[in-house]
Structure 1
Amino acid sequence: MEKHVCNMEAACRPNFEGVPEMLVSRFPAALALTLSASGLFAAPVNLDQPSSLDRPSYFAPEKSPAQLWRQNTQPVSLTEDAPAPADKIYAESLEPGMMPSAAYGESYGSGCASDGGCYDECFQDCFCPTWFAYAGALAMTRDNSNEVWLSNDSGDYAARTMGSNAAGMGWKAGYELRFGRHFGCSNWAWEVDYWAVRGTASHTVTNQGLIGQLDTPLDANFQGLTYNGSNVDDYYNNAQAHRLQRSYDFYNVELNFFQDPNFYNANCCGGNVTFGALAGLRYFKVREGFAFSTDPTDYSFNGADDELHYDIDVDNNLIGAQLGMIMNYNFDRLNLYAKTKFGIYGNAINQQSRMYGNLGNAYIDNALSPNNGRQYDVSANKGRVSFLGELDLGAGYQLTKRFSINGGYRVVAASGIALATEQIPQNFEDLGIVASTPSNGDLLLHGGYLGGQFIW
């Protein structure tokens, strides 16, 4: 019986006192015999195989003693005929749509890792989408800018007949196209996004039903302007009809690089929550058209010589960089996402103001004005810094392995914008004020979208 003698000053060591001397003397021989016998169960060693130090090798799983009798003695095959690793078999067995989305509204099929990574670098036959394309429809509107009153009843000054918001934008249809490609084993992607919304609106009022005449509150501003030998006030006051036409154009182009949302991962309520970062370049164009027309003789605007038009056209061209974040909540085939963007932009503004008719432009007719005799046709350019932010909330559903539908709501807010109604001066004779192009307006554009995305 083996005994141990232990104390605080020395390590435990065996003490064979009382053990027969024959067993002690024969213990090395018994140990050698046992080790030799165990060699009967081991696979023979192939001395012709290169050393394990020369190249990596694969190890077979540990087997129980009962399996050792049936162990394959052939060397491990390093060819493509080797059985597929277990992780690949598991990944390929998953149903389509079970993987978390790669980005807002973009879902992977089977063959990609649960963290958004791709097995493709190790197994070339797995499915891992690289390219993606999206097409959809938009329906958007904007907030109304500060209203400028254009028409009134001369018999009732409290009854403001028509203002600049009478031809507001309302809901206008648009479209969106997007395509891009994943890289870095699908952990990153780039995309080009283009969407546009355009629309026009018109509103006409007549002198029918008024207590007095159809006049304009801008008659004091128009003083000093002459068209075809008569003061402009004579065309806009005591008129038969006033018409307001407005146009609204919004164009957006982006080049973004974004992270497959794995910056932060967490599980909640049976789903997977991920966050990712975004950075890119953006061009955003806002164009407004404004036309206030008068007809002093009838109710039909048919291009007669006595019809007069006051036009304003303003272009805002925002170019700059943006940063953002993407959040996904993925639950089986359903993906909820939120995307935010914010940027600082240089805004190149173009503006033209003009008063004209079939017989030419109105002109300044005031001997006391330094602009006496000049036509009222002013074009101006201006640059300033503007800010733009975007919030995008939506959901995607994976219908097939490669196709999903996406829908959501988008809000775009911009400051430092030149708006058409801000270009109306208090004194039309001061062409310097007109050319200064005020640009401290704000814009809020919002609406919904619906579309489909294909990945390959």
Structure 2
Amino acid sequence: LAIALSVLAAPKTEAQQPGGYANGYYPTQQAIYMTTPGSIGGEAPAGFAMSAPSGVQLASCSSCDAMGCDSPGCGLGGGAFGGGCSACGGACGGACGMGGLGSAIGGVGECLAGGYDGYNSQCFGQANGPYGSGANCLPRWFDASAEWLFWQRDISESQAFASTNIAGLTALDANQLDLSHVSGFRVTGAYLIGPSTGLEATYFGGFNWATGIQATGNGNLYSVFSNFGTDPFNGYAESDAANLQQVSLSSELDNGELNLRRRWVSANCLVHSSVLVGVRYLRLRDDLQYRTVTATDSMTYGVKTDNDLVGAQIGGDMYIGITPRFKIGGDIKAGVYGSNSSQRTWMNGTQSPWLNESANKSDTSFVGEAGLSAIFRISSQWTLRAGYQVLFVDNVALGVDNFNTQSPFGNVTRDVFLNNSGDVFYHGSSLGFEWTW
């Protein structure tokens, strides 16, 4: 009798579970597992329901060794197969006969046997990260995020501007321009409007690419405006037989979005995914300048293009939970947009009158965006993220594509045009954080 009373009086604490699940298998089963005082109890994610697997003994083992429980009928619940548990099948396995899968995918390095019925690949009660391993079953969420972007723009356009000697080798070409990596930023705010459903507002921009090339000579540089010194022969006073010719290009990119996103978690809590629909506004601007300096004269010729795109998009993301702290995944978005493109061409020369031309056109464009990311949760509120993104835009007006090679000198009438068939490709890395209230 004394022994029985001492056993009954031994302090134990039940693993903590959310309301409605406090006594284990909802609604009638006893506690899934017990833990000793001071150990870490498991916390089941909200809304998690399961039935007791057959053949499982709902009690912790009194002792264990490398092969699991010493007590008869317990099976391989703890020890070598429980993986870091405070008792046989305890904080990890949950009940004798169930090994639980630990905090890595498939329980590698933690627990080897199957996890809870309906909750495989997870292990309650592990002190891994800001939550127990059960946190992997919570939908991925943040209230705000901010990222530093380091992107470059690829240039595929080719346009010869100058040659060395009359009808000679090309001295300046647009494909020599290099819009290499520059810094920008992206910020996102999210507002929960329903279960696993939120509104997201995103802006990215701040990019200002700028590049330039030049050629120097001794009165032997000839311009595209004279067909490289052949029409008229020896060219124009302001652009040909030049000592210096320069080409510069600057470009800006701004983007705003409002999306409705719905999130899901797979049955085994490994895959976190979402779909979204929304609207997007994107603005792309180019400023191209061509400058020539001869022995007596000079000229500056400029082309500015502006593109405004507005339309609807769809997309989504998918992340794999490596541990409760660490996930890897990717996202994709695409849409068709109404676009309005315009160009303005101007020239200021020492002999020629001021030139001012413009044109605009409305059309449809496509925008596609994709990326790969890794996120690491460092606390219950802060998550680090890093990734690589690509952005493709077609049917836009670019500075090089709208460079009119017809001579702007004299009283000639030029054909004013707008070319909005250009494609542009951006790509680069990102680094930032997510914050949860």
TM-score by length of 2: 0.65
Q: What corresponds to 1:27 in structure 2?
A: none
Shift in Å, 1:297: 3.1
Listed as ranges, the matches of 1:311-330 within 5 Å are: 311-330=302-321
Match of 1:446 among 389, 411, 427: 427
Residues 349 and 382, structure 1, Cα contact 8 Å, conserved in 2: yes
Q: Does 1:190 align with 2:199?
A: yes
Amino acid in the other structure paired with 2:241: N
Amino acid in the other structure paired with 1:387: F
Amino acid in the other structure paired with 2:211: A
Q: What corresponds to 2:237 in structure 1?
A: 234
Deviation digits for residues 22-46 of structure 1, max 9, x if unmatched? Answer: xxxxxxxxxxxxxxxxxxxxxxxxx
Residues 313/155 of structure 1: CA separation in 2 closer, same or farther (3 Å cut): closer
Cα distance in 1, alignment partners of residues 200 and 389 from structure 2: 18
Q: What corresponds to 1:351 in structure 2?
A: 343
Listed as ranges, the matches of 1:204-353 within 5 Å are: 204-207=214-217, 213-220=220-227, 233-262=236-265, 265=266, 267=268, 272-297=270-295, 306-332=297-323, 333-353=325-345
Shift in Å, 1:90: 4.1
Query: RCO (CA 8 Å, sep 6+): is it higher in 1 or 2?
Result: 1
Match of 2:179 among 154, 169, 185: 169
Cα distance in 2, alignment partners of residues 130 and 407 from structure 1: 16
Q: What corresponds to 1:408 in structure 2?
A: 387
Cα distance in 2, alignment partners of residues 385 and 252 from structure 1: 17
Greater helix fraction, Structure 1 or Structure 2: 1
Q: What corresponds to 1:116 in structure 2?
A: 138
Deviation digits for residues 303-326 of structure 1, max 9, x if unmatched? Answer: xxx431110000111111100121
Amino acid in the other structure paired with 2:339: N
Match of 1:85 among 18, 22, 31: 22
Residues 290 and 312, structure 1, Cα contact 8 Å, conserved in 2: yes
Cα distance in 2, alignment partners of residues 222 and 253 from structure 1: 47
Match of 1:202 among 190, 209, 212: 212
Shift in Å, 1:260: 1.6
Residues 378 and 431, structure 1, Cα contact 8 Å, conserved in 2: no
Residues 320 and 327, structure 2, Cα contact 8 Å, conserved in 1: yes
Shift in Å, 1:401: 1.3
Query: How well do the aligned residues superpose, as a CA RMSD in angstroms?
Result: 3.8
Residues 204 and 256, structure 2, Cα contact 8 Å, conserved in 1: yes
Residues 325/219 of structure 1: CA separation in 2 closer, same or farther (3 Å cut): same
Amino acid in the other structure paired with 1:116: L
Consecutive unaligned residues of structure 1, counting only runs of 5 or more, are 1-65, 67-81, 101-106, 118-128, 226-230, 299-305, 364-374
Cα distance in 1, alignment partners of residues 229 and 191 from structure 2: 57
Q: What corresponds to 1:134 in structure 2?
A: 145
Residues 261 and 328, structure 1, Cα contact 8 Å, conserved in 2: no
- Structure number with larger C-alpha Rg: 1
Amino acid in the other structure paired with 1:201: T
Query: How many aligned positions are there?
Result: 324
Q: Does 1:178 align with 2:188?
A: yes
Amino acid in the other structure paired with 1:189: G
Residues 322 and 341, structure 1, Cα contact 8 Å, conserved in 2: yes
Q: What corresponds to 1:6 in structure 2?
A: none
Deviation digits for residues 184-227 of structure 1, max 9, x if unmatched? Answer: 23x1122111111212112222105xxx70112331499999xx
SS in 2 for 1:422: helix
Cα distance in 2, alignment partners of residues 412 and 309 from structure 1: 32
Residues 224 and 428, structure 1, Cα contact 8 Å, conserved in 2: no
Amino acid in the other structure paired with 2:256: V
Amino acid in the other structure paired with 1:180: A
Deviation digits for residues 140-180 of structure 1, max 9, x if unmatched? Answer: 112213210111111671x3111123332111111111111
Residues 415/83 of structure 1: CA separation in 2 closer, same or farther (3 Å cut): closer
Cα distance in 2, alignment partners of residues 292 and 232 from structure 1: 16
